[in-house]
A and B are shown apart, each in its own frame.
Chain A
Amino acid sequence: MGNFSLLDAGIVGIYLLLTIVAGLAVRKYVGKVEHYIVAGREMNLYLGVASLAATEFGIVTCMYTAQNGLKMGFAGAVPGILQTVAMLVVGITGFCIKPLRDAGVMTIPELFENKFGSNVRWLSGVVIVLGGLLNMGVFLRTGGEFLLITMGYNPAEFATTYRLEIIMSILLLIVAMYTVLGGMLSVLVTDFLQFIVMSISMLLVTILILIKVGWGNIISAVETHLGPKGFNPFLMERGWEFVAFNLCLQFAVVLTWQAVIQRILSAKSTRVGKLIYVHTSFFFTARFIIPGLWGMAALATLLPEQIGENSLYAMPRFLSTFLPSGLMGILIAGMLAADMSTDSAYMLTWGGVIYNDILAPIRKKHQWSEKKGVLINRTIVALIGLFLLFYGLWYPLKGNLWDYLGVTGTIYLSSMSVLLIACCYWKHANNWGAMGSIIAGAVFPIGFLILQQLPQTAEWAQQVGPYKSGLASYAGSALAMIIGSLLKIALIKDKASTTKGPKI
């Protein structure tokens, strides 16, 4: 066991109790679907900042950014800086998010219907939900691994005992309880509480690391293990590709990641939505550099045999013996907060897209009442909880986790960002281009993975690398939008001129 004591258990218990009480207290305010999905569009600036920051920082983020710090040094924090830049640019200019919020829609696909028709809305909903749910499927297990290793348990035990599954199932049950009943209102209130707990714990741990491990030791560990490339991403192998791909990825996330966009759509006004982006922007650098520093501290203090084969476990292993009792409890509570806020917001987000877009044809036919709409939303969120429980926790995931995350993320983000930009700013964009864009966005990353698996093409795929295939996905998706849209216009013009029909 590490330094986790009864005092720490008490701190975690108090935090969990407060979250449940706060989450359940606001369920009585949910009267309409709009309250459930976008909090009646009454969210103001500071609540929005807390909610966006809490949602976009989960244990899975902490684990991978710490791993980036361990394997790439400070250069691993570059995606965070790029996301800050993307968020600032979009927040200040209102690029895409202004027309999106002004349209008064509840989801991105809803906006697409006006421009591209109901089929594209439905298909976009399917792509968003598939990408989102499959991504989210791995959150719970990774979160459980972090919590148990930090508490001092050995990862070798995970396969033989059901400790991880039981703890994370209880956690999911708590999150599902308040999310199902209170929807976005419960998510916002608990996000606020979770932001405070998470931020305090992250700041305290970082300051303690700087005092005890020391900046000088961290710098020399990065220099010894990684050299100059640990400070400069362009010196890494495929450094330019890494930066270019992450620039595209971070802009796409800022524009179309439904969990992020839902904060804009729940905001009181377009101006508040833009300000939420501007005020939260620097948090995205913090969310990479702070856990990255924890990973580098693990590099500076642990022996190679302590780090072991799985570098993902190095940071929690380091924290399990580094943190004193009391602060350990605050960290565990903080990381539970980070995970719970992400899980609740994501469950609600994908649930909202299923209800609003995938079920749109059925809704239009049957004209559900507000009460029935809220009930159906609650059922969908509960079903997503069940999916997470069985797929993410009890079902053993096969294959490489990073590849899995890369495929699911890029399939969705590349095409949806192209569709959104075209929908807002290109008057010639149409459903042919949109369909082509969705297909092209999926073909490149899936094709890359298949080529990587086939023995005949594996070497070639290795030479191409994941960043080029990711960049090709964005370029291919944009090209398909342009070619598809222009092709439709040309064919209709051609048809109109041969039949002497009306001009378009």
Chain B
Amino acid sequence: MKIFWLATLIFCIVWYATMTLYVGIKGLFDIFSMLNSIRNSEQNSKIS
């Protein structure tokens, strides 16, 4: 069981660090894309 918990912990730290980096970069693009979409849909609804 000790090896299982050590492996889980190591995997956890590596996965979490990778995910933080990945989400940190890609999530920023998601924010801009979300705000752009909302702005565009608002402008379109005002025009129509």
Q: What residues of chain B lie closer than 8 Å to A185, measured between beta carbons?
A: 34-35, 38
Q: What residues of chain B lie closer than 8 Å to A200, measured between beta carbons?
A: 20
Closest partner residue, chain A, to B45 (CB atom): A31
Closest partner residue, chain A, to B25 (CB atom): A46
Closest 4 CB pairs of A and B: A47-B30, A46-B26, A231-B1, A44-B30
Q: What residues of chain A lie closer than 8 Å to B26, measured between beta carbons?
A: 45-46
> Is A301 engaged at the interface, CB distance under 8 Å to the other chain?
no
From A49, A215, A232, A283, B6 is in contact (CB under 8 Å) with A215
> Is A188 engaged at the interface, CB distance under 8 Å to the other chain?
yes
Q: What residues of chain B lie closer than 8 Å to A219, measured between beta carbons?
A: 2
Please, how many angstroms separate the alpha-carbon atoms of A45 and B39 in the complex? Answer: 20
Cβ proximity bits A187-222 to B, threshold 8 Å, 1 near / 0 not: 011001001100110110011000000010001000
The minimal Cβ–Cβ distance linking B12 to chain A, given in whole angstroms, is 5
Q: Known: A47-B34, A188-B34. Contact between A289 and B12, CB under 8 A?
A: yes
> Is A286 engaged at the interface, CB distance under 8 Å to the other chain?
yes
Closest partner residue, chain B, to A196 (CB atom): B24
How many A-B contacts at CB < 8 Å in the complex? 97
Q: What residues of chain B lie closer than 8 Å to A29, measured between beta carbons?
A: 35, 38-39, 42
A contacts with B, residue count (CB < 8 A): 43
Q: What residues of chain B lie closer than 8 Å to A199, measured between beta carbons?
A: 16, 19-20
Please, how many angstroms separate the alpha-carbon atoms of A195 and B2 in the complex? Answer: 30
A-B pairs with beta carbons under 8 Å apart, 6 shown: A26-B35, A35-B38, A39-B34, A202-B16, A228-B1, A286-B16
Please, how many angstroms separate the alpha-carbon atoms of A206 and B30 in the complex? Answer: 29
The minimal Cβ–Cβ distance linking B43 to chain A, given in whole angstroms, is 10
> Is A42 engaged at the interface, CB distance under 8 Å to the other chain?
yes
Q: What residues of chain B lie closer than 8 Å to A26, measured between beta carbons?
A: 35
Please, how many angstroms separate the alpha-carbon atoms of A49 and B20 in the complex? Answer: 10
> Is A293 engaged at the interface, CB distance under 8 Å to the other chain?
yes
Closest partner residue, chain B, to A280 (CB atom): B19
> Is A95 engaged at the interface, CB distance under 8 Å to the other chain?
no
> Is A153 engaged at the interface, CB distance under 8 Å to the other chain?
no
A192 lies within 8 A of B28 (CB):
yes
Closest partner residue, chain A, to B35 (CB atom): A29
B31 lies within 8 A of A286 (CB):
no
Q: What residues of chain B lie closer than 8 Å to A192, measured between beta carbons?
A: 27-28, 31
> Is A290 engaged at the interface, CB distance under 8 Å to the other chain?
yes
- B3-48 interface with A by 8 A CB criterion: 5-6, 8-9, 12-13, 15-17, 19-20, 22-24, 26-31, 33-35, 37-39, 41-42
B24 lies within 8 A of A49 (CB):
no
A50 lies within 8 A of B12 (CB):
no
Q: Is the interface of B mostly helix, strand, loop or mixed?
A: helix
Please, how many angstroms separate the alpha-carbon atoms of A185 and B37 in the complex? Answer: 12
From B8, B13, B27, B33, A203 is in contact (CB under 8 Å) with B13
B30 lies within 8 A of A45 (CB):
yes
B5 lies within 8 A of A74 (CB):
yes
Closest partner residue, chain A, to B46 (CB atom): A31
Please, how many angstroms separate the alpha-carbon atoms of A189 and B34 in the complex? Answer: 10
B37 lies within 8 A of A42 (CB):
yes
> Is A321 engaged at the interface, CB distance under 8 Å to the other chain?
no
The minimal Cβ–Cβ distance linking B13 to chain A, given in whole angstroms, is 6
> Is A40 engaged at the interface, CB distance under 8 Å to the other chain?
yes
Q: What residues of chain B lie closer than 8 Å to A44, measured between beta carbons?
A: 30, 33-34
B34 lies within 8 A of A46 (CB):
no
Cβ proximity bits A144-160 to B, threshold 8 Å, 1 near / 0 not: 00000000000000000
> Is A282 engaged at the interface, CB distance under 8 Å to the other chain?
yes
Q: What residues of chain A lie closer than 8 Å to B31, measured between beta carbons?
A: 47, 188-189, 192
> Is A440 engaged at the interface, CB distance under 8 Å to the other chain?
no
Q: What residues of chain B lie closer than 8 Å to A289, measured between beta carbons?
A: 5, 8-9, 12
Please, how many angstroms separate the alpha-carbon atoms of A203 and B14 in the complex? Answer: 9
> Is A285 engaged at the interface, CB distance under 8 Å to the other chain?
yes
B34 lies within 8 A of A42 (CB):
yes
A46 lies within 8 A of B23 (CB):
yes
From A35, A203, A232, B16 is in contact (CB under 8 Å) with A203
B2 lies within 8 A of A46 (CB):
no
Q: Known: A43-B30, A189-B31, A219-B2. Contact between A203 and B23, CB under 8 A?
A: no
Q: What residues of chain B lie closer than 8 Å to A228, measured between beta carbons?
A: 1
Please, how many angstroms separate the alpha-carbon atoms of A206 and B31 in the complex? Answer: 29
The minimal Cβ–Cβ distance linking B10 to chain A, given in whole angstroms, is 10
Please, how many angstroms separate the alpha-carbon atoms of A283 and B20 in the complex? Answer: 11
B34 lies within 8 A of A282 (CB):
no
- A32-64 interface with B by 8 A CB criterion: 35, 39-40, 42-50
